[in-house]
Amino acid sequence: MTDKTTVIYNDTCPICAREVNAYRDMSRAGGLEIVYQGLSDCDLARFGLDRDSAARRFHVVKGGVLYDGIPAFALLWDDLPRLRWLARLVRLPGVAWLAAALYDHVLAPALFALHKRRERRGKARRIA
């Protein structure tokens, strides 16, 4: 693992890719050394992940530790000056609980279901 902040995300998801591209643009504009690894070009085993587990949630590696979900977003937002306020916000006790519940039980499962549907469609097209 690396000491640099590393973002592991589902680059085959249009929603995820768009959001992470905005983060990438912010980090480049600020001269920040954040590594972005999409599922398509990442050695997931290096991080102890397989393709499905990596696609299920947003992951950030920082200080050699793998984080996922809202804590991962907050760590990345800490590094992006324009989003530090958001990191502080999602760490507030009531907000942290609500953000985690929304991400864990609604957003992440919905995005993963869309990911699996895109994979099935892609396989069906290759077979046809």
Q: Is the pLDDT of residue 2 over 60?
A: no
d(CA 25, CA 41): 19
Determine the average pLDDT of the residues in 93-116.
Answer: 95
Is residue 112 included in any domain, yes or no?
yes
Is residue 30 included in any domain, yes or no?
yes
Q: Is the pLDDT of residue 125 over 80?
A: no
Q: Which domain holds residue 15?
A: 6-127
Average pLDDT, the chain: 93
Is residue 1 included in any domain, yes or no?
no
The whole-number pLDDT of residue 123 equals 72
The whole-number pLDDT of residue 128 equals 56
Answer positive or negative: Cα dihedral of 100, 112, 19, 60.
positive
How many domains, in total, are found in the chain? 1
